[in-house]
């Protein structure tokens, strides 16, 4: 039973699991439709502020920003003065309003996407130039479980099977030997455990003696 639970746990470890990855505002995968009006880095903005930003950077813009990612969930961390809209794969998914661009918060998330490629679009309402300070996004995606788990599971399973097979063969051989001994009339040792079978064996005696003697 313990062994079975162990094998099941190993099999489960072989399956895919979900992990988070972070895309910084300064990452090359982030497409700014206009060059950000301000890029905060530890060298350009005051340190008290940059130490609170993911990897010390943020990008301020009033124009749409698109970010491709592969996964099933996404979280957006930014500050906004006004309103910001969120669109995934061409579909409006929500908006967020605040009046402090320097307050970086979780402004949007969606964790019910099909696992696959998506494009997130962060944009101000049409014809309005709201200010957005993007810090980072987090996306959730699945990674294959450890291959080692699957291999260990296979090896352990194989060894258990082999052990059972060997034990079965050993028991069978001992039975045969003991039967042969009883037919020859050799006194059985005290450790003969199968007394009921002994009676059955002697019942078979009349047919066999000639063959064996």
Ligand X SMILES: *[C@@H]1O[C@H](CO)[C@@H](O)[C@H](O)[C@H]1NC(C)=O
User: Where do contacts with ligand X occur on this chain (CB under 6 A)?
Assistant: 18-20, 24, 27, 55, 75, 138, 140
Residue (140 or 182) nearer to ligand X, CB: 140
- Round to whole Å and give the CA distance between 104 and 84: 13
DSSP the chain: -HHHHHHHHHHHHTS-EEEEEEEETTSTT-EESS--SEEE-TTTS-HHHHTTSGGG-EEEESS-EEEEEEESEEEEEEEEEEEEEEEETTEEEEEEEEEEEEEEEEEEEE----SEEEEEEEEPPTT---EEEEEEEEEEEEEPPPHHHHHHHHHHHHHHHHHHHHHHHHHHHHHHHHHHHHHTTPPPPTT---HHHHHHHHHTGGGSHHHH-
Residue (19 or 155) nearer to ligand X, CB: 19
Residue (7 or 55) nearer to ligand X, CB: 55
In whole angstroms, the minimum distance from the beta carbon of 137 to ligand X comes to: 10
In whole angstroms, the minimum distance from the beta carbon of 119 to ligand X comes to: 20
Would you give the end-to-end CA distance of the chain in angstroms? 47
Residue (66 or 110) nearer to ligand X, CB: 110
In whole angstroms, the minimum distance from the beta carbon of 86 to ligand X comes to: 16
In whole angstroms, the minimum distance from the beta carbon of 149 to ligand X comes to: 18
Residue (124 or 134) nearer to ligand X, CB: 134
In whole angstroms, the minimum distance from the beta carbon of 109 to ligand X comes to: 7
């Amino acid at each position: 039973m313990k062994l079975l639970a162990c094998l099941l746990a190993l099999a489960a470890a072989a399956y895919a699991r979900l992990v988070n990855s972070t895309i910084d505002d300064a990452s090359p995968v982030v497409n700014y439709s206009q060059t950000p009006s301000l890029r905060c880095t530890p060298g350009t903005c005051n340190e008290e502020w940059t130490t609170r930003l993911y990897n010390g950077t943020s990008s301020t813009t009033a124009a749409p920003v698109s970010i491709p990612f592969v996964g099933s969930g996404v979280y957006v961390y930014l500050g906004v003065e006004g309103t910001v809209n969120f669109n995934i794969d061409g579909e409006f998914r929500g908006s967020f309003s605040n009046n402090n661009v320097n307050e970086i918060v979780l402004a949007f998330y969606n964790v019910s996407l099909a696992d696959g490629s998506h494009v997130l679009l962060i944009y101000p309402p049409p014809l309005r130039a709201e200010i957005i300070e993007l810090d980072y996004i987090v996306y959730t995606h699945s990674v294959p479980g450890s291959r080692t788990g699957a291999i260990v599971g296979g090896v352990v399973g194989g060894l258990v099977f082999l052990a059972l097979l060997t034990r079965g063969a050993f028991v069978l051989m001992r039975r045969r030997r003991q039967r042969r001994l009883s037919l020859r009339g050799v006194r059985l040792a005290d450790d003969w455990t199968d007394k009921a079978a002994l009676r059955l064996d002697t019942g078979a005696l009349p047919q066999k003696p000639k063959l064996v003697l």
